[in-house]
A = this chain, B = another copy of it.
Amino acid sequence: MFDDILANVREKTPLVHCITNYVTVNDVANSLIACGASPIMADDEKDAVDITSLCDALVINIGTLNERTIAAMLKTGKRANELSHPVVLDPVGAGASAMRTNTTFKLLEEVSFSVIRGNISEIKSIYRGSGTTKGVDADAKDAITGENLDGTISLARELSSRTGAVIAITGAVDIVSDANKTYIIHNGHEMMSKVSGTGCMLTAIIAAYCAANPGNHTAAAAAAVCVMGLSGEMAYEKAIKNDSGPSSYRTYLIDAISKTDADILKGGMKIEIR
């Protein structure tokens, strides 16, 4: 289903500009290279506007934000919009602090996003216009289950409709949705939650996939989510074989991203379309 999408990334090597938190930035850089893209980071307003002009996509990840980088996010986001680059938002901790929540809303007002990727608590904070996010992890009570799946899909579709962005909600079950079409993805492994930054990495990979597949952001984002989930499963097999813990697992995860191709994806993806 996603053969061309993966091939396009490897063929075009999109250059992805990331304004992202300093906690997981190295993993973001290396997972972009692993998926076939090329990273560049710049977070000063003056530098970032120039840099984004050379790039094919922009990631705005609000973790470890500050006044200086918020200004860069806004200005660079607008510039990327002018250039019709896909812009992907990762609202890390939206709902957890006034600064993060307000920055998210300001970004949504002033920048047009192609994709918004977050955990269910972050996405619900955006949907509701307020939040009860517990730190940067999703609240257990927000978890997507068989029972609330339909409601979550409706929420994603309505938010997509309101923002114009594809909504990617990731967790034990992943949902990627525009206003009309929803991918439900069952790949991934719980060990991914034992590594800091798997969400940040995925956000950047989504940006790379969108840059290389301009006509089809919903499918591109869904493919990226599948690749990440399947890589998480492959990494788990290697971790078990080597009796490893979460730090080895992180290494194997990025290794696996570099190896996942259309054939592996075809053989392993667990996806449903509604």
Binding site for B on A (CB under 8 A): 15, 21-27, 29-30, 33-34, 38-44, 46-47, 50-51, 54-55, 63-68, 93, 96-100, 134-137, 194-197, 244-248, 250-259
Contact = CB atoms under 8 A, between A and B. Distances in A.
B33 A195 contact: yes
| Residue among A15, A44, A98 with max Cβ neighbours from chain B (10 Å) | A44
Contacts of A24: 26, 29
Contacts of A97: 42, 46-47, 50-51
Contacts of A29: 23-24, 196-197
A40 B136 contact: yes
A182 B135 CA distance: 35
A54 B134 contact: yes
Copies of this protein in the assembly total: 3
A130 to B, nearest CB: 13
Given A27-B26, A63-B41, A67-B44, A50 B245 contact: no
Contacts of A46: 97-99
Nearest to A49: B97
Contact of A44 (B99, B194, B252, B253): B99
B246 A50 contact: no
Contacts of A64: 41-44
Given A40-B93, A50-B97, A248-B255, 14 more contacts: A23-B25, A24-B26, A26-B26, A29-B196, A29-B197, A34-B194, A34-B246, A40-B136, A42-B93, A42-B97, A50-B96, A66-B68, A246-B258, A247-B253
